[in-house]
Amino acid sequence: MTIILKNKDTLIFDDFKFKCSVGKMGITNNKIEGDKKTPSGLFSLGKVFYRKDRNLKPITKLNLISIKKTMGWCNDIKNKNYNKLININSKTKYEKMYRRDYKYDYVISVNFNTKRTKLGKGSAIFIHLTKNYLPTAGCVGIKKKDMLILLKLINKKTRIKIFEN
């Protein structure tokens, strides 16, 4: 089954509708690193990351990884590990996975620009948490209660379809 992002503020999966937010600059089919746009297309889902120091282990059929303080997602357009999970170091630019705020307490990675990765084409595209539906830097934001429902429903064959309306 496919998760459909409709009207930039609604995720639909099966009979469920979830309010959501997307990138501050909208949805694009020409994603560029740092453009604050959510990429359009049909994407598979990657791993689920969660903060076990703050939350219970979610019920999901996807591969699950506990977030550690040393984890980052490389967004350095000059690095061979671009758009991959890394152990953080001072020489590489990265998106911190272990955040002070709540947004990455539960994260589903979206497989955008992951196979045959193109440097500068966009990285760290996630479905993550939001409390207020403010625009994101390019991800999809949903409420925690909705994330926990979605995690129970989806599996390794689930795709997300994001398109401009």
Strand partners, 41: 162
State the DSSP code for 158.
-
Q: Which domains does the chain have, with CATH numbers?
A: 2-162 (2.40.440.10)
Name the pTM for this structure: 0.96
In one-letter notation, the amino acid at residue 14 is D
CB 80 within 8 A of CB 91: no
Summarised one tens digit per residue, pLDDT across range 33-82 is 999 999 999 999 999 999 999 999 999 999 999 999 999 999 999 999 99
Torsion 21-137-3-130 (CA) sign = negative
Summarised one tens digit per residue, pLDDT across range 91-112 is 899 999 999 999 999 999 999 9
Nearest partner of 60 among 75, 46, 77, judged by Cα: 46
State the DSSP code for 141.
E
